[in-house]
């Protein structure tokens, strides 16, 4: 097994032994490890504290950037939709993962798989209601303000 994937799996197993979920991640650039993370929901009481996001946060803070173009993520489990989206926003090029979303669901960790399925539905058919509330007349438009800034 690749050394970076091996480390991600090692982190995940250690996290389980420490009371966490079985997820570890290693962020790599130019064949060098830049940061790593584990799922810390149980420690931080933060639903976004997934392994991949934790690794990204460490790297971004260290380098004072939000862009991670030309980076590779190694994850012990297939990234959930939130992590995948964050990686798209950051510009990560490649993601390798060991356990699939189906494997996670089989272990009782099926939210990622469920959310992937939910996102395939139209907004109207999703379990979470989404209601568009357009700006009122005369209200300052943050998007228009942004356009004048850039």
Indicate yes or no: pTM above 0.85.
yes
Give residue 1's pLDDT: 62
For residue 50 the two structure tokens come to 């997934």
pLDDT tens track for 96-129: 999 999 999 889 887 888 898 999 999 999 999 9
The span from the CA of 150 to the CA of 141, in Å, is 15
Query: For the domain that residue 22 is a member of, what is the CATH number?
Result: 3.40.140.10
Q: Following CA atoms 51, 55, 61, 67 in sequence, which dihedral angle do they give, to the nearest 10 degrees?
A: -110
Residue at 137 is within a domain:
no
Residue at 103 is within a domain:
yes
CA angle 14-17-19, nearest 5°?
A: 115
Q: Which domain holds residue 8?
A: 3-128
Residue at 149 is within a domain:
no
52: annotated active-site residue: yes
pLDDT below 70 — which residues of the chain?
1, 150
Based on the structure, what is the number of domains in the chain? 1
Catalytically annotated residue among 21, 52, 102, 118: 52
Residue at 133 is within a domain:
no
Residue at 141 is within a domain:
no
Residue at 101 is within a domain:
yes
Percent of the chain residues past pLDDT 90, beyond the cut: 85
Give residue 31's pLDDT: 96
Are residues 28 and 58 in contact, defined by beta-carbon separation less than 8 angstroms? no
Residue at 140 is within a domain:
no
């Amino acid at each position: 097994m690749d050394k970076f994937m091996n480390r991600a799996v090692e982190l995940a197993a250690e996290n389980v032994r420490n009371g966490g979920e079985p997820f570890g991640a290693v962020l790599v650039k130019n064949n060098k490890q830049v940061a790593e993370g584990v799922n810390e929901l149980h420690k931080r009481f933060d639903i976004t504290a997934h392994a991949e996001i934790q690794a990204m946060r460490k790297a971004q803070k260290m380098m004072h950037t939000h862009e991670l173009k030309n980076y590779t993520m190694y994850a012990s489990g297939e990234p959930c939709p939130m992590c995948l989206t964050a990686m798209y926003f950051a510009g990560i090029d490649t993601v390798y993962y060991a356990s699939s979303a189906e494997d996670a669901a089989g272990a009782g960790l099926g939210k990622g798989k469920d959310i992937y399925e939910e996102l395939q539905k139209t907004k109207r058919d999703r379990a979470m209601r989404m209601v568009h509330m357009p700006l009122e007349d005369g209200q300052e438009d943050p998007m228009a303000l942004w356009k004048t800034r850039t």
